[in-house]
Chain A
Amino acid sequence: MKQKFDIRTLEKSKLEASFNPPDNYVDNFTTRLMQQIPAEAVQPGASSPVSPRRRLYLRLKVGLGVAAVMGGVAFCLFAGLRHHTPATQPQMSAQTAAAPSSSYNENYFDEVYTYAMLDDYDVYDYLAEDY
């Protein structure tokens, strides 16, 4: 009677050997494969180069943004000046016409002293220290 075949009777190492790559295959394959990956190639994960068209678009976008901001600032300044000029202009011109420039300066310094809570003695002391 023919004995039933059992897979455990097979020599696994012999079977395995029949699937081995030819001699020097690993070295040759590695060399061939690495030649397909050029050294200068953009590495995966690195940012890709920007096309000239895209670069122009980005520059225009930034330029227009800056121009819009500048325009906004200019408008605000212009509108602010227009708002204040009619009210202050006659008053200023009246003051300057009535008083000499020195009195304007004195008034200004007086206001500064008051605001800073300085009196004349403080100023004298300060000046005296220098001499």
Chain B
Amino acid sequence: MPKLSDADLLQRLQDATTRREAFELMVRRYTRPLYQQIRRMGLTHDDTDDLLQNTFMKAWTGLDSFRGEAKLSTWLYRIAINESLTFLSKNKAVASLDDADAAHSAESIEGDRYFDADRTARLFQAALATLPDKQRLVFNLKYFDEMKYEDMETLLGTSVGALKASYHIAVKKIEAFFNEHD
């Protein structure tokens, strides 16, 4: 069976008779990228799993309000990002973590039984943990997903100029962290 495009998938999601089946397809397609996206925010596997469930449950209940103005992927990423930022903010793991907090955050990730990485990757995680949440998010979207700033602007509602500045600062901070700890 040929792979359904997101547009076809959306069409099936809007039809009550094919909705459930299409939703399962959508979950299969987006679980992995959304898992990675949430995990990169500095969360453990268990927290990521919870947030991913919340994300898809919200998508299911919000299917009627989604009219397809944005891409299906953009809509899902937005829900996942909001879930992550709300979680982080609730857990007091918010903006401008100092080194001690960053070390603690990095330790909790390293202690995660699902975290499998070499020294560089661990250092990188620790460096990421020093960034404020939104800056970390911008960095991840640009560095790992290679997302265009224009798409990021739609996703986050932040101007292209501010996003470029945010990414540039994040890179400088990560490099400074490596210079200091490597």
Seen from chain A, the residues whose Cβ lies within 8 Å of a Cβ on chain B are 2, 4-7, 10-12, 14-22, 25-26, 29-30, 32-34, 36-37, 39, 43-46
Contact = CB atoms under 8 A, between A and B. Distances in A.
B16 A34 contact: no
A27 to B, nearest CB: 8
A48 to B, nearest CB: 12
Specify the main secondary structure of chain B where it touches its partner: helix
A96 to B, nearest CB: 69
A37 B121 contact: no
Given A37-B60, A45-B16, A15 B121 contact: yes
B16 A12 contact: no
B175 A6 contact: yes
Interface of B: 16, 19-20, 23-24, 27-28, 31-32, 35-36, 39-40, 45, 49, 52-53, 56-57, 60-61, 63-64, 114-118, 120-121, 124-125, 143-144, 171, 174-175, 178-179, 182
Given A19-B39, A25-B31, A29-B31, A10 B52 contact: no
A16 B32 CA distance: 12
Contacts of A2: 179
A52 to B, nearest CB: 25
9 contacts: A4-B179, A14-B118, A16-B144, A20-B36, A26-B28, A26-B31, A29-B27, A44-B64, A45-B16
A38 to B, nearest CB: 10
Nearest to B38: A19
A18 B121 contact: yes
Given A19-B36, A21-B31, A44-B63, 6 more contacts: A18-B116, A18-B121, A21-B45, A33-B56, A44-B60, A45-B64
B121 A21 contact: no
A22 B114 contact: yes
Contacts of B179: 2, 4-5
A15 B144 CA distance: 9
A44 B23 CA distance: 12
Nearest to A14: B121
A73 B3 CA distance: 64
B16 A37 contact: no
Contact of A46 (B16, B53, B60, B178): B16
Contacts of B124: 10, 15, 18
Contacts of B63: 44-45
A39 B20 CA distance: 8
